[in-house]
Amino acid sequence: MSVPSNLPGLRRGGLLHLPRRAGRASALLAAALLAAALLVAGCPDGGLTQVFPDIRIEAKALDFGTLPVLNVAEQTLSIENQGRARLALTSIRVEGADAAAFGVGSWPERLGPGDAAEVSLTFRPEEEREYFSTLIVESDDPDTPRIEIPVHGEGKTKAAIEVDPTFIHFGIVGEGTTAVESLIIRSVGTAPLIVEEVHFGEGTPPQFEPVGSWSSGTLEPGEEIPLSVAFKPVAGQEQLTGSIVIVSTDPERREVTVDLESEINRAPIADCGPQMEIESAPGDVVHLDGSASDDPDGHLPLSFAWRILERPIDSNTELSGADTATPSLELDVPGTWEVALTVADALGVESIEPCKVKVRAVPAEKLYVELVWDHPITDLDLHFLAPGGMLNSGLDCYWGNPNPDFGTLGFSGDDPALNRDDLAGFGPEIVTYPDPPAGTYRVVVDYAKANGAADPVTEATVRIYQFGVIVAEYRRVLDAPKTLWNVAAIDWPGGDVSTVDTVVTY
């Protein structure tokens, strides 16, 4: 590029020349002249020319063809700047009576020399007919500042939706339970049905929940999909309503609403009575009472289901009358039971939370000895010997002498008793002693009979309680009958328990 030499402030050769002492005004003038010179370029014949942007769009018309109603088609428009100056795109829009059916994506505000851009255009017919409009592209190209391109598309065929049912009644649903119902979405039009969205209507309570995925999708004509919804009632409500909204490309029914309704059967309330803890003695029978249980909706009669949640490790007792309001429990060993009651109303809805009762069997006697074993057939016998007593004698409390006279002759208040004798399997066998006289007592176990057991090996357990508290526990594996296990010695009134734990056969 050449710069005229006759411009003020320029010397020959196009170089800027300022006097050494030129003022600020002269410097600004020279800068302005230089900027003006840079906007022009020298022509081969020595003349000057200004550079401009040059917009080029190859498409002379845009035709989207035919499209199902409410479906979307997309095309791209290529815009190129073939000029030597930057191109500014000031507006790209659609005008005309059907302009609403066409859409224009984003576009760059400027294109540099040689640059190009792709602009997205969409067509979405609202009904079955032809659509005509004009795409307007405006820029700062001085030759073609406005380009008009005809656009055309046709809505042909349309989707139609069928939903069955449009009202779902869950019926009476029990509190704490879940009910599930389903509906069908079916495509019955001449074009594919696009299910754009499925959601709960405004104000639908959270007790209504979707089952599985409620995602969008496309159904070809004749296709259908199931949709399931669950209802999970909670306490304190009697009736709830809601809705499901289905949005699709059916132009006649853009939204279909399915109404939801359910009645709630409130759960009955289990009531174990005022005594949440009961204490009694081993061997006693405890009576429980759930007759105060009730149903808030009056769905009577109630059904009862008692069950043992926890029990002493060696207890084999079961509830008697567990399906009644007032069952009983025999306390076969010392320890603690936890019993729970669940009730159900006449429609079968169960109580949400069971009521619970703790039952403790605490020996009332000063001395209490218990024998249990793990074999269902074999027979073991408990022997409790007075000071100086011999096995199977008058000073031995056992099955053959269950009420011996150990203390003052003729006075039963200082005598032990064999309260329970089990002839086969598990036990327990129990000796109770309300008020033992002073002396040293011995505890012996006799493996009496195998009762035909193929494998007679049996593990025996002896527990010794004093004043209701367990003070010693012994375990021993006995291989065969005619075996004596000398377990321990008890010194009274001190209560010291000395371990013997020896076995002899006879």
pLDDT at residue number 364: 84
Cα–Cα distance between 319 and 328 in angstroms, integer? Answer: 6
Tens place of pLDDT per residue across the chain (506 aa): 333 444 333 333 333 444 444 444 444 444 444 444 444 444 444 456 789 999 999 999 999 999 999 999 999 999 999 999 999 999 999 999 999 999 999 999 999 999 999 999 999 999 999 999 999 999 999 999 999 999 999 999 999 999 999 999 999 999 989 999 999 999 999 999 999 999 999 999 999 999 998 988 999 999 999 999 999 998 777 789 999 999 999 999 999 999 999 999 999 999 999 989 999 988 899 999 999 999 999 999 999 999 999 998 878 899 999 999 999 999 988 889 999 999 999 999 999 999 999 999 988 889 999 999 999 999 999 999 999 999 999 999 999 999 999 988 888 888 999 987 777 788 889 999 999 999 999 999 999 999 999 999 999 999 999 998 899 999 999 999 999 999 999 999 999 999 999 999 99
CB 297: neighbour CB atoms within 10 A?
18
pLDDT at residue number 239: 86
pLDDT at residue number 6: 41
Show Cβ contacts of residue 448 under 8 Å, excluding neighbours closer than 6 positions.
379, 380, 381, 481
Consecutive H or E run containing 430: strand 429-433
Is residue 270 within 8 A of residue 276, CB to CB? The reply is no
Parse the chain into domains and list their residue ranges.
55-155, 161-265, 277-361, 367-505
Question: What is the separation of C-alpha 184 from the centre of its chain, rounded to a whole number of angstroms?
Answer: 26
Cα–Cα distance between 191 and 69 in angstroms, integer? Answer: 8
Cα–Cα distance between 160 and 249 in angstroms, integer? Answer: 8
Domain 277-361 has CATH 2.60.40.10: yes
pLDDT at residue number 48: 66
CA dihedral 237, 238, 244, 245 (to 10 degrees): -80
Cα–Cα distance between 290 and 293 in angstroms, integer? Answer: 6
- DSSP-derived pairing of the beta strands 62-67 and 328-330: unpaired
According to CATH, what is the number of the domain 161-265? 2.60.40.10
Of the CATH numbers 3.40.50.2300, 3.40.50.170, 1.25.40.10, 2.60.40.10, which one belongs to the domain with range 55-155? 2.60.40.10
pLDDT at residue number 203: 95
Is residue 81 within 8 A of residue 116, CB to CB? The reply is yes
Instruction: Take residue 270 and report the two structure tokens written for it.
Output: 């289990």
The residue type found at 138 is: E
**How far is the CA of 248 from the CAs of 66, 158, 202, 260, in angstroms?**
20, 11, 18, 20
Assign 319 to helix, strand or coil: coil
The beta strands (E) that lie in 346-402 are given as 355-361, 367-373, 379-385, 396-397
Instruction: Take residue 487 and report the two structure tokens written for it.
Output: 């377990």
Residue 395: left (phi > 0), alpha (psi -120 to 50), or beta?
alpha
pLDDT at residue number 473: 96
Cα–Cα distance between 294 and 292 in angstroms, integer? Answer: 6
DSSP 281: -
Cα–Cα distance between 166 and 487 in angstroms, integer? Answer: 78
Cα–Cα distance between 335 and 332 in angstroms, integer? Answer: 9
Question: What is the separation of C-alpha 432 from the centre of its chain, rounded to a whole number of angstroms?
Answer: 53
**Vertex 20, ends 16 and 26: CA angle to 5°?**
60
Global confidence as pTM = 0.57
Instruction: Take residue 74 and report the two structure tokens written for it.
Output: 């997309």
- DSSP-derived pairing of the beta strands 458-466 and 396-397: unpaired
What is the per-residue burial (b if ≥16 Cβ within 10 Å, else e) of 163-187?
beeeebebebbbbbeeeebebebbb
pLDDT at residue number 12: 32
Is residue 152 within 8 A of residue 101, CB to CB? The reply is no
Consecutive H or E run containing 30: helix 24-38
Burial zone of 239 (CB within 10 Å; 0-12 exposed, 13-18 middle, 19+ buried): exposed
Cα–Cα distance between 63 and 60 in angstroms, integer? Answer: 10
Cα–Cα distance between 11 and 236 in angstroms, integer? Answer: 98
Same fold, 55-155 and 277-361: yes
Assign 406 to helix, strand or coil: coil
